[in-house]
Amino acid sequence: MNSTSYIAQNWYWMVAAAASGGLLLWQQIQGAAVSAGLSPAQAVQVINREKGQVIDVSEAAEYAAAHVVGAKNLPLSEIASGKGLPSNKKIPLVVVCATGARSGKAVAELKKLGHENVQPLGGGLKAWREANLPIEKA
């Protein structure tokens, strides 16, 4: 039996193996995107042990619907102004948004403004909720 006939007779196994490998790779890529930043448990440690402040960069309506307890709302579009941010730039800041997508941009802006210890919450408010941590509504 030559290799061409083997492949022709077992093509479905080849497709299944390629699909399986593709799905595993996709899961790894998605996991890396979500894991960028602090886990909810690490964020709690920063908030409690290091007296960190939570900055929620969601829009006002999203913030009103649900946010981390004690979080201060400062939409991403307003970060560059620096208004509402702690004057002490050494205070640890945990940046949160709905899914973690906007918080990375906010972290970059905050670092440009001179804040030294700024980290995003990986997975955003979604990850916070999945960890069964407290949220509040405005």
Question: Closest Cα to residue 96, out of 128, 64, 133, 65?
Answer: 128
Backbone angles phi, psi at 96, to 5 degrees: -130, 145
pLDDT in tens, 61-102: 999 999 999 999 999 999 999 899 999 999 999 999 998 889
| Mean pLDDT of the region 13-32 | 74
Mean pLDDT rounded to a whole number for the chain? 88
Residues 6+ apart with CB under 8 A from 128: 40, 43, 68, 96, 121, 135
DSSP string, 17-66: HHHHHHHHHHHHHHHHHHHSSB-HHHHHHHHHHS--EEEE-S-HHHHHH-
Q: What angle do CA 114, 115, 119 make, to 5 degrees?
A: 135
Q: What is the domain extent for residue 14?
A: 3-35
Do 83 and 23 belong together in one domain? Answer: no
Do 86 and 113 belong together in one domain? Answer: yes
Do 23 and 57 belong together in one domain? Answer: no
Between the two ends of the chain, the Cα-to-Cα distance in Å is 71
> What pLDDT, on the 0 to 100 scale, is given for residue 30?
57
Burial label for 20, CB within 10 Å (0-12, 13-18, 19+), is exposed
Do 30 and 48 belong together in one domain? Answer: no
Domain total of the chain: 2
Residue 96 three-state SS: strand
Predicted confidence (pLDDT) at residue 31 exceeds the cutoff of 80: no
pLDDT in tens, 100-118: 889 989 999 999 999 989 9
Do 88 and 120 belong together in one domain? Answer: yes
Do 29 and 63 belong together in one domain? Answer: no
Do 54 and 110 belong together in one domain? Answer: yes
